[in-house]
Chains A and B, each alone.
Chain A
Amino acid sequence: MLNLPDPKRLLGEDRADGSIYSDPDLYDMEMDRIFMHNWIWVAHKSDLPEPGDFITTFVGSHPVIVSRDRKGAVHVMLNRCRHRAATVCELKHGKTASFVCPYHGWAYGLDGALRGVPHQDGYTGQLDKSKLPLVALRVEEYNGLIFATFDKEIMSLDAWLGRAKPWIDLFMKQGAGWPVKTMGEHKFTFPGNWKIQLENTTDAYHFPIVHKSFLDSVDQETQNTFDFVGGAGFVEDLGHGHSVMVMIPELVDLDEGLDAPIPERFTELATELAKDYPDEQVRKIVRAVGGSGFNLNLFPNLACSMAFFRVLRPLSVMETEIRHIAIGMDGGPDIANEVRLRLHEHFQGPMGFGTPDDAEAWDRVQRGSLAGKDISILLNRGIGHEAQREDGNLFSDVSAETGMRAAYKQWLVAMTEEVGE
């Protein structure tokens, strides 16, 4: 390899060189070593509930199809015909029995098997269909979250998620007893490197500054709930680059605290729900509608962020796509799911009261980081009072940069270890 950047020289324990946001060679390394050799989130199981359902998405820069076959198994396959490489599907989602290449009509099953080749006699016996399925990625699932990877050697998803798993289970309590389902998404790009967004989901420090105008738009009780910097929350390194940032400790376990008073902004919903549900269930639904009190950052591309999924996709070294996927209760009351949609619209997406201000801050980081050379980005907040839990997890206060340090530690592991190790 010639003149590849040396990631070790760019990252210290408490800082990183500004060029990590703009070096195109480093980006190419990331797209290979991180996005082709780690578990990448591709779908929630509710995106393809029935046999024959599929979506198209990306693993890093690679277009893939995620499909559910007739037996219910999920497949993640490159969206590339084995003949002349044309994509075999351009729909974002749908239901089908097969994927037929539009160029010469090669037809693949839901499991990617090559089923039909028009005028096959033209190959005079030199085409073995069994050797030409759509190229399959490894796929594994945890609590409804479906991940895929190109790497046949890396550890199981279960081991990879490790100490993050209990937090995923807590996050899914937003189903209030029903399964969690996705309910649409906001998708937008910002002109900056993907790691700026990765950092943001574990950055409580910015909230009262960047989101002043959002806080102005909610009632006093909600403002108090979101006044968490300096509060009892914490950030904890969960290993493998994952971290959790607990902003509102009393909203960690949504099955607890059901006798707490119902927030003013949900009293109307509670009154409506009381017509159809007993008091305890009303409280459980209302609590779930408000969302979890934490952001779970899963390296490298998913966050279970309070009340939605945040998915990032690098488009180029200085452009990133973000999806904010709304979630709700699959089978739960429509009025409660509609309140969730309105809350999502209020903060998230390109026209929300929160996201555009985040995007502006990320844009500024990218542009500012191009000023000068050999100047560090600081990642040392909260390091002085960082401590260790019994299980070994490092933790610090809610506005500490412990989660960023966790992500960059894993970034360095991925960028420097021999592939397949």
Chain B
Amino acid sequence: MSITLEDAVALITLEADMLDHGDFHDWLKLYTPDGRYVVPIDPNAEDFEKVLNYAYDDAEMREKRVVRLLSGRSISAAPPARTVRLLSRYRMMDSSETSCTLRCAQMLQELRQGRVHDYAANLNYRLEMTNDGLKIALKVVRLLISTEALTAVSYIL
């Protein structure tokens, strides 16, 4: 049986909840060992390794990002920004027994230093069925304003 939309949405909703509530160590476990978390700049980029991105994290970089967020040694993340995000508009692009591609919208609001920022993004997920259940093999956060000037984002989108 192919991976269902319900199962896929359950996983990425869990991810969103963990990120908003600072469960970063558990968040790391949602990814496959060779999974990637990518925030591209170019809206048309597909071959992320060959271009400059905001973030192009393998397992090692994801772990470093979490250490940084929790260390208290980064002034932009001490304390980290608070975030609330909503995922919606889910569409399964393709699905098989072993993997699926899901697209959805994310609206995120950030509060830090008394200022609020909004980030709208299209999310593209590649999910894979593993012995430990469904995992994230690729998450691409295509920010609506990726080609414009951002402000510092010291958290995980």
Interface residues in chain A, defined as those with a beta carbon under 8 Å from any beta carbon in chain B = 92, 183-191, 210, 212-213, 216-217, 321, 326, 334, 338, 341-342, 344-346, 349-351, 353, 355-357, 359-361, 363
Q: How far is the CB of B52 from chain A (nearest CB, A)?
A: 3
Nearest B residue to A315 via CB reads: B149
Docked pose: A355 CA to B148 CA in angstroms = 17
The reply to whether B54 and A186 contact each other, CB–CB distance below 8 Å, is yes
Q: How far is the CB of B34 from chain A (nearest CB, A)?
A: 16
Closest Cβ of chain A to B113, distance in Å, is 7
The answer to whether the Cβ of B75 comes within 8 Å of any Cβ in the partner chain is yes
Query: CB distance A351 to B153 under 8 Å?
Result: yes
B54 & A346 in contact (Cβ 8 Å cutoff) = no
- Flag if B149 contacts A189 (CB, 8 Å): yes
**CB contact between A216 and one of B50, B67, B151 (< 8 Å): that residue:** B67
Partner of B152, one of A216, A346, A359: A359
Asked if B127 CB lies within 8 Å of chain A CBs, one says: no
With a CB–CB cut-off of 8 A, which chain B residues contact A349? 54
B147 part of interface (Cβ distance < 8 Å): yes
Does B98 sit within 8 A of A, measured CB to CB? Answer: no
Q: Is the CB of B152 within 8 A of A350?
A: yes
A349→B52 CA distance, assembly (Å): 10
- Tell me what chain B mostly uses at the interface: helix, strand, loop, or mixed: mixed
Q: Which residues of B contact A341 (CB under 8 A)?
A: 50-53, 56
18 new A-B contacts, CB < 8 A, other than A186-B41, A350-B151, A357-B74, are A92-B147, A183-B51, A184-B42, A188-B151, A189-B150, A213-B71, A216-B67, A321-B149, A345-B56, A350-B152, A350-B153, A351-B54, A353-B74, A356-B74, A356-B76, A356-B152, A357-B75, A357-B154
Query: How does the 8 Å CB contact mask read for B20-56 relative to A, with 1 for contact and 0 for none?
Result: 0000000000000000000101100000011111111
CA distance A187 to B151 in the complex (A): 8
- In contact, A344 and B73 (Cβ under 8 angstroms): no
Of the residues A183, A216, A350, contact of B150 by C-beta under 8 Å: A350
Considering the complex of A and B, which 8 residue pairs feature the smallest CB-CB distances, nearest first? A184-B52, A356-B152, A213-B74, A356-B76, A360-B76, A350-B150, A212-B73, A359-B152
Residues of A within 8 A of B54 (CB): 186, 345, 349-351
> Which residues of B137-157 are within 8 A (CB) of A?
147-154
Which residues of B lie under 8 Å from residue A213 when comparing CB positions?
68, 71, 73-74, 77
Contact A188 B74 (CB under 8 A): no
